Structure 1
């Protein structure tokens, strides 16, 4: 495994229970040029160098988590940082010898394009499953792990087939997370909302007297 690389990172979170089976770690890459209309994570589009961290620091964070059934990687667009993505996934391979840890990666690229590109094809070999294709808001059909019906959930390993052969969970889940920072309290959501969920949530908050600031899905 090559080492010493860095990644533009939007955020890390544990536990994640909305994007795959079991208790998971969530890793969101920073930077995406696909700009799908209706994307919930527009704050991850800009390739902001202030978000650059060593891949080794992400692996160190993962190593310290007490319970881990899988890792979900999203963004931003992970396949626009193929070097960092590969280094991260290679770093996870050693753990997989001693535990049933699955790796699920989200990408806005269709799988046929990823399979044609040599670098991306090698990365797919390190994943257990991928969700691929651009988000299309009018096709948001409520499936548990896909944002819209055009997207494809593809198991890529025996473990991936056991856990992802059918796109069936207990419906969609959303996690609400709150963190305090230098610029005040930040609320963010993990999961895939249904069409109109975020506007309905804003209306409920407004009715309760809670005034939200800048919202990433309206940037």
Structure 2
């Protein structure tokens, strides 16, 4: 699979403490996308699915769920199917004495399209929930809009949270049905700092409201901190 990043813990893309996996490559190119760095299907990012599953199994703390995003996961259907199948096998192992984790997948495709595609349908049948639909910048109302909290886990109002299993309905059903009070809970963005051969990289994990990243950049500039190249600008 082409892998952009894997991170633990993630607390902004689904309920509880989660492992996050971002697949590399997307041809949808939604205007206003904050993850332009995941668009290119770069062969240099290829890793065995087994390596990602091994990383998951090695995580030291509680894992309430796994969130798979991108990029566009459904543009790597074989790898995504192998990944989700492997996660299910791992989570159902009787030796795992932890809470049952859920599998959440983000896609820029609308749910009706995914559900009509036989290959995608097989993947959906192994997931607990999906969040579907392209990002539409004008439908991200921004931080000062009175209903902006209602977009928790979603980038824009057109996107759908679709529970797919009994576990998914327990964990995502209230939010999918418009339980605003529950949706207002918790932060929308967390910060991860990675040290690599190319220097330090800062990752913002989550779904900010429209304008949040520009506000953050200007705040850092006033403090004398230069962000350098950022993924949310062309």
Partner of residue 54 from structure 2, selected from 54, 60, 67? 60
Structure 2, unmatched stretches of 5+, are: 142-147, 176-181
CA drift at 1:171: 4.8
Q: Corresponding residue for 2:233?
A: 218
Partner of residue 154 from structure 1, selected from 158, 162, 166? 162
Counterpart check, 1:208 vs 2:202: no
Counterpart check, 1:182 vs 2:197: yes
Asked if the contact 1:129–1:155 (Cα under 8 Å) also holds between the matched residues in 2, the reply is yes
When the two structures are superposed, what TM-score results if normalisation uses the length of structure 1? 0.95
Q: Which moves more between the two structures, 168-177 or 116-125?
A: 168-177
Q: Corresponding residue for 1:76?
A: 71
Q: Corresponding residue for 2:153?
A: 145
Partner SS for 1:119: helix
CA drift at 1:95: 2.8
CA distance in 1, matches of 2:31, 2:156: 12
RMSD: 1.0
Counterpart check, 1:29 vs 2:17: no
Partner SS for 1:218: coil
Q: Corresponding residue for 1:132?
A: 132
Structure 1, unmatched stretches of 5+, are: 1-6
Relative to 1, partners in 2 of residues 1:144 and 1:171: Cα closer, same or farther, differing over 3 Å? farther
Partner of residue 174 from structure 2, selected from 166, 175, 185? 166
CA drift at 1:182: 1.5
CA distance in 1, matches of 2:65, 2:34: 23
Counterpart check, 1:102 vs 2:102: yes
CA drift at 1:172: 4.5
Partner of residue 50 from structure 1, selected from 44, 57, 69? 44
Deviations 1:52-107 (A, max 9, x none): 00000000000001221100000000000000000001101123324411000000
Q: Corresponding residue for 2:179?
A: none
CA distance in 2, matches of 1:164, 1:96: 19
Partner SS for 2:227: coil
Partner SS for 2:131: strand
Which of structure 1's runs of 4+ aligned residues deviate more than 6 A? none
